[in-house]
Amino acid sequence: MKMFSRLIIRALALLVCVLFAEPLLAQQAPIKIGVGEALSGGLAGGGKAALLTYQIWQEEINARGGLLGRKVEFVYYDDQSNPATVPGIYSKLLDIDKVDLVISGYATVPVVAAMPVIIAHKKTFLAYYALDANAQFKYDRYFTMQPSGPNPQSAFSAGYFNLAASITPKPQTIAIVGADAEFGQIAMAGAREHAKENGFKIVYDQSYPPATVDFTSIVRSIKVLNPDLVYIASYPPDSAGMLRAIYEVGLTAKLLGGGFVGLQFAALKQQFGYQLNNVICFDYYAPEPTMKFAGVDEFLVKYRARAVAAGVDVLGLYIPPYAYAQMQILEQTVKAVGGFDDAKMAEHLHKTTFKTIVGDIKFGRYGEWESPRIITVQYQNIKGNDVQQFIESGKQVILDPPQFKSGTLRVPFTPTKQ
């Protein structure tokens, strides 16, 4: 009898616990943020850096008590830099893993591939770097961290062409080359517009399949035409291949580069080192005296301490600052809305100016930035292949726009011997 009553008491106690624990447990359920990130393949240099940044932010916010009192968790899959995997990944995140929030992977091509699934689920999508990805969809819940401004296609190469126009005597001819993929095509279209506006004659205008590895015939075809300007829009593997071919064939031009994705990563800076001298490239942040934001230096110190151990980009100049800012924006939005309602989040994102470690950010039409902040840099004074030299200023000299200008243009580009 005694045993029986003990049993009853135990059962009652269990019942009480369950009844009270249920709401408690619901509060403890973590907030899941879903992302398909490039952890292997051509874009992995950026994807892995982004993931490390998200993890740093996750630890910080969980130490502060979480978001809305709940711990934050990332659910991520490797998209292998292959856009074909992206729809499946986001379907899985939304339908099976049932994540609360979704953000995009890194780069135009994966972002565009994700859009149909995101639009079908009507989610608010805080995307990362993507060039003019929303132009074909005009989705009102899309927001991007890429500081392209209201006219992305044109703004992307504007700096390069401003520099070209400033050269005397005025350049006459230009060769435009890029990958036959979303990013390459959009960048090249913008370059063509600018070339026409400036009166440069386009003597070469070709795109190559994304999987091309041998660029010698392309570079040679450009070389025989002897153009004054060469505009290249490529992803990391092709940027590397193109630079190798440029050195192998010996191509020179007054201005060379513009749309090389990948030179912003530490890995390629280390691989090419001094060979980057006088190459022109776009960027979003450079450690120059003219570009100081509150909070970014402290963040970079924290990031760099972990980057070496994690085997990711040791400089952390290109992806991490903006990825951290992306999380700051997400945090502020979720707190302001008090939840994850997509419509409310989109409304808040449209009307607010956010304070982040890369300055103030306000989104405008179609989720692009209200005003552009793409900078055009030239690599100068690079010696050898030591990657640490890029931490100092004076190696990635900002030449455009004028408010960030920190040096003078050096013309022409010739393959550096060493």
Partner 1 sequence: MNTIEPTVPTWATSRSRVARRYLIPLTASVLIVLFGFALLDWISYEYAYLAIYTILQYVVLATAWNILGGYAGYVNFGVAGFFALGIYTSVVNYKTLQLPLPVIIIIAGIVAGIVGLGMGYLTLRLRGVFFSIATLAFAVVLNTVFNNWHFVGGARGVPVLRPDAPLFFGTYPRYLFGVLLVLAVAAVLIARAVEYSWLGRGLAAIRDDELAAECSGVPALRLKLMATTISGALMGMAGAPFPYYITYIDPASAFSLTIAVNTVAMPVIGGMTTWIGPVIGAVMLGSLQQITTVTISSALSLMLVGVLLVVFVALAPRGIVGVVKTLRERWA
Partner 2 sequence: MVNPELLFNALLTGLFLGGFYAAVSVGITIAFGMLDIVNIAHPAFIMLGAFVEFYLNSNFGIDPLLASLIAIPPAFLVGRLLYKIYYYAFERHGEESLQGLAFFFGILFIVEVGLLLVFGVDYRFVEADYIRKTIEFGYISLPLRLVVPMIVGLAMVAAIYFFTSRTFLGRAILAVSQDPGALRFVGGNPMRVKEIAFGLSIATAVVAGALLIIIQPVEPSLGREYIGRVFAICVLGGMTSLGGTVLASIIVGITEALTTTFGGPSWAPAVAFGLLIFALVVRPQGIFGR
Q: Give the one entry of partner 2, partner 1, none that residue 173 binds, where binding means its C-beta sits below a cut-off of 5 to 8 angstroms depending on kind.
A: none
Amino acid letter at 148? Answer: S
Residue carrying the six token digits 């004074």? 381
Among 33, 97, 31, CA closest to 65: 31
Within 293-417, where are the H helices? 296-310, 320-337, 342-351
270 belongs to the binding site for partner 2 (CB under 8 A) = no
Strand order in the sheet with 125-127: 72-78, 31-37, 101-103, 125-127, 142-144
Among 414, 418, 417, 416, CA closest to 223: 414
Q: Give the one entry of partner 2, partner 1, none that residue 243 binds, where binding means its C-beta sits below a cut-off of 5 to 8 angstroms depending on kind.
A: none
> Considering only 76-84, 191-199, 253-261, 319-327, which stretch makes contact with partner 1 by CB under 8 A?
76-84
Of 91, 151, 221, 389, the one binding partner 1 by CB under 8 A: 91
Of 70, 92, 220, 405, the one binding partner 1 by CB under 8 A: 92
Q: How far apart are the first and last CA of the chain?
A: 93
The reply to whether omega before 210 is within 30° of 0 (cis) is: no
Of 208, 354, 369, 404, the one binding partner 2 by CB under 8 A: 208
- In whole angstroms, the minimum distance from the beta carbon of 213 to partner 2 comes to 5
Tokens of 86: 């992206």
Within 199-235, where are the H helices? 216-225
Q: Give the one entry of partner 2, partner 1, none that residue 136 binds, where binding means its C-beta sits below a cut-off of 5 to 8 angstroms depending on kind.
A: partner 1
Among 417, 412, 416, CA closest to 226: 412
Closer of 42 and 359 to partner 2 (Cβ): 42
Closer of 271 and 290 to partner 2 (Cβ): 271
By the criterion CB under 8 A, which residues form the site for partner 2? 40-42, 44, 80-82, 180, 206-209, 212-214, 216-218, 220-221, 224, 237, 241, 244, 247-249
Residues that bind partner 1 (CB under 8 A): 82-84, 86-88, 91-92, 95-96, 112-113, 115-117, 119-120, 136-137, 179-182, 184-185, 209-210
